[in-house]
Amino acid sequence: MLRKVFCILFICCLQRGFAQEQNNLGHLLTAMQNAYDSNSDSFEYYANTVYAMAVKQGNIDAEIKASKYLGIKYYLNGQADTAVKVLLEAARDAAKYPATIQSAYLDYAIAQVYGTNKYGGISKQYLTKGMGIALMLKDDTALADGYNRLGIMYERGASFDSAMYFYQQALHYNDKANFLLGKAYSLENIAGLYARKNDLRKALRYQEEALGYKMRVGKKIDIAMAYINVAETYDSLKQYDSAINYIGKTLSITAEIDYKDLTKYAYQLLATIYEGRRDHVRALLYYKKFTALNDSIYNETKTKQLAEVNAKYETEKKEEQIRGLAQQTTIQQMQLKQRSFLLFIVIGLFVASGIIVYLVYNWRKLKAQSARQVEINRQQSEIAREVFNAEENERKRIAADLHDGVGQLLSAALLNLNNYFTTRSINKQTDVQAGQIASLMAESYDELRSISHQMMPNALLKTGLAAAVEELALKTSNDVLAVNLEITGFDERINPEIESVIYRVIQESISNVIKHAKAKKMDVQILKDEDGISVTIEDNGKGFDMTRLKNKGMGLKNIYSRVQFHNGTVDIISDAGKGTFIAIHIPTA
């Protein structure tokens, strides 16, 4: 009995310890977040501690979160290579588990690092992947974040109309999620676009609306930044009293939270405003405040750097002493081993010669195999291109034969039959039968024209991809399935082979939705920019089990083979009852 009591007490202690550890992880996550927000020196300690504890507990969300914040911090400190290494390692670990919202935010972080280092194509792939996870998990806040990031990407590329569309989509999903701070960020992004267009009144209206949301959230640093944004716009409108008023509100908050960088910028803006008003006394006053604070920040940074350099110097000095002692010991050991070592030199030379001969022979063999493989790949690529071209040419030929041959014969027969009815007097029974014959011929003619158009639509040959897809969407959309289409960037024709591939992929996707998905709505977006062509196809149908992709049907195999032949990528995200999301990217460079 006593042994049983001790066992129960031991188990209770273990459970209490595990619960305490989980509670500690929660506190550490909060501390890490606060240290990150305040740019504290203790952030890296908290991030590494959270990561170690999360790995120990198998908490993948906390592990991803720590890695994500650590990677972003490295990126903001100018260490992009280290940031990419940390984030990609986290992505490899996350891929072993089912996707979560933290997985989506991790993909967004990777996209951010690549996007600002001139890797737009890779950035867009990770951004699309993250948005696919957010869509699959029906997380409107994460989806809004993705649209905001897309908008920023297109704004950097000076595609302002596309950027505006994505910012508005972000605002829609933030509004749907009732995420006030997210709505504020989306409104400020929209305001920035209007400021670029010099529509300052409209920009101000959106900034004031964003300020209202930030006031409701109550986070002081965000409110201060909103104040300074409004002040800048008033300054551009030459309404200096209003600008000065909002700068004063900014300074009252930055003094409270000790935010020196924003205080410094506010002083600089005040100096500029007073100088523009020719109030040189106040301009000089605030310029002196700006300079003093700037020097103070600089000196604090330098003091910290000097302390770090001194600590590093002392550490290196001690290490140098240790290395000196170790070197003396090593010299003595080497003298003892020198005689034995000389005996092995000759043997080593013979062995090395044999290894070199073997490596040279093996290298030549591998080089020949590599050359043969390159030639095989080239031939396979040429064969595949010939197959695709032959398929398209055969489609064109069959479509032309159907339209120009059989179609014209059916049309002539139908015309003659109708003419026969109008010139002959026949009884009622014969009239009914003849009418049925005419109806069947007309239906056959329409079916033949439909088949001919599906095989090779005239719009694709004559006017290009945009017109052909618009015609396809118009014919497909009905009361049962609404097809929404958005096409951006197709001001001129592109490679006919790529046009054909994209058209066939969209045609196949629409066919799959009609046959299997039982969807009521389907959204198709086609974007062309300097990185290539991106296509997203989304439906709200019944979806499917992703494990079925291992045994792809003929339709999916066609999509993969056509896109991959042009060095493109295909990402499909689906789940039972949650619809399907397909993202395709084909480079055009």
Q: What is the pLDDT of residues 224-237, one digit of tens each?
A: 889 999 998 998 88
The answer to whether 68 and 108 are in contact (CB under 8 A) is: no
Q: Residues 108, 88, 528, CA angle at the centre, nearest 5°?
A: 45
Q: What pTM was estimated for this model as a whole? A: 0.46
**Does residue 311 carry a pLDDT above 70?**
no
* Greater pLDDT, 357 or 3: 357
Q: Nearest 5 degrees, angle CA 211-CA 213-CA 216?
A: 110
pLDDT of 10 strictly over 50: no
Beta-sheet pairing, 580-586 with 521-529: unpaired
At the topology level, CATH places domain 463-586 in: Heat Shock Protein 90 (3.30.565)
pLDDT per position as a tens digit, 174-221: 999 899 988 998 999 999 899 888 899 999 999 999 999 999 988 888
Name the 3-class secondary structure at 483: strand
**Does the structure show a pLDDT above 70 at 116?**
no
375-378 — which CB contacts under 8 Å span 24+ positions? none
User: Which residues are within 8 A (CB) of 63 and not within 5 positions of it... i.e. 6 or more apart?
Assistant: 51, 54, 55, 90, 93
Question: So what's the pLDDT on residue 535?
Answer: 92
Res. 377 pLDDT band, cuts 50 70 90: low
What is the percent of the chain where pLDDT is above 70? 69
Domain ranges of the chain: 9-138, 463-586
Residue 12 banded pLDDT, cuts 50, 70, 90 = very low
- String of b and e for 530-561 (b: at least 16 CB within 10 Å)? ebbbbbbbbbbbbbbeeeeeeeeeeebeebbe
pLDDT band, very low/low/confident/very high, at 16 (cuts 50, 70, 90): very low
Nearest to 91 by CA among 114, 57, 116: 114
Task: For residue 414, name the pLDDT band (cuts at 50, 70, 90).
Answer: low
Residue 7 — very low, low, confident or very high, per pLDDT cuts 50/70/90? Answer: very low
pLDDT in tens, 263-277: 988 899 998 998 888
Q: Check pLDDT > 80 for residue 332.
A: no
* Statement: residue 536 has pLDDT above 90: yes
Which of 38-47, 118-127, 136-145, 420-429 is least confident? 420-429
Q: State how beta strands 569-574 and 521-529 pair.
A: unpaired
Q: What is the DSSP letter of 42?
A: T
**Mean pLDDT lowest among 114-118, 242-246, 472-476, 503-507:** 114-118
Q: Beta-strand (E) ranges in 414-520?
A: 482-488
Architecture of domain 9-138 in this structure: Alpha Horseshoe (1.25)
Phi, psi of 426 (to 5 degrees): -130, 160
